[in-house]
Chain A
């Protein structure tokens, strides 16, 4: 069964600083990988996805993620964080012929001025 680990429960970053959120997955075949963001009281919004091809994926709001098969990782990055990026971020994995998404526990990002 597939699983997702987000090692960092909470990250605090200064506005303008870079951000990296870690995600490790466990799955036998090539996974489909997603990053979602959830602002307080809101639903989940898709930031970016990886299905195949180029391992560096660009998303919305200036985010990018890199798929590293050798490390079973799909880390999310943003070069310069804005106060509006304060939210909870979820990594999720899906797979061919497996309809559900398995989510990590989430990482809460706090942005300080």
Chain B
């Protein structure tokens, strides 16, 4: 158990819908990262927050957005869902901002299925 929790574990929804994925980092970690794992794209970095502020952005679609709240939990919002958004979404956390190689601890993931 990494100490990172993600809810829900599974999510099944229809195209065009909007969903919210939630992540609670390890106690004491200030950074939260979101990754998408799909069969065709592999593991892709989406976005990072540090202490409530966005710090880095990867291959995140405009239909996707995230935020980190004062209690440091984070939510990833996916809207206007398409079949291709079906994937495993991981949240990770680290102590700092990983510019010095802090290791990232991964949650169990949320499996999103878009029908």
Q: How many residues of A contact B (CB 8 A)?
A: 24
Q: Which residues of B contact A101 (CB under 8 A)?
A: 33, 35, 45, 98, 104
List residues 56-113 of chain A with CB under 8 A from any CB of chain B. Answer: 90, 92, 94, 96-106
Which listed residue, B44, B90, B97, B101, touches A32 by the CB 8 Å rule?
Answer: B101
Q: How many residues of B contact A (CB 8 A)?
A: 27
Q: State how many angstroms separate the Cβ of A25 from the closest Cβ of chain B.
A: 14
Which listed residue, A36, A99, A104, touches B97 by the CB 8 Å rule?
Answer: A99
Q: Is B63's CB within 8 Å of the partner chain A?
A: no
A76 to B57, CA, bound (A): 29
A102 to B23, CA, bound (A): 21
Chain B proximity mask over A5-37: 1 for CB below 8 Å, otherwise 0: 000000000000000000000000000101010
Which listed residue, B2, B31, B44, touches A43 by the CB 8 Å rule?
Answer: B2
Which listed residue, B31, B42, B56, touches A103 by the CB 8 Å rule?
Answer: B42
Q: Which residues of B contact A45 (CB under 8 A)?
A: 2, 106
A104 to B58, CA, bound (A): 16
A98 to B58, CA, bound (A): 11
A36 to B37, CA, bound (A): 14
Q: Which residues of B contact A44 (CB under 8 A)?
A: 90, 92, 106
Does B103 lie within 8 Å of A90, measured CB to CB?
A: no
Q: Which residues of B contact A106 (CB under 8 A)?
A: 42-43
B57 closest partner in A (C-beta): A100
Q: Which residues of A contact B58 (CB under 8 A)?
A: 100
27 contacts between A and B (CB under 8 A): A32-B101, A34-B103, A42-B108, A43-B90, A43-B108, A44-B92, A45-B106, A46-B103, A46-B104, A51-B100, A51-B101, A90-B43, A92-B43, A96-B100, A97-B99, A98-B56, A98-B99, A99-B31, A99-B33, A99-B48, A99-B55, A99-B56, A99-B99, A100-B48, A101-B45, A101-B98, A104-B42
Q: A43-B109, A101-B35 given; name 17 further pairs at CB < 8 Å.
A: A32-B101, A36-B106, A43-B90, A46-B103, A46-B104, A51-B100, A94-B98, A94-B101, A96-B99, A97-B99, A98-B99, A99-B55, A99-B56, A100-B48, A100-B58, A103-B42, A105-B42
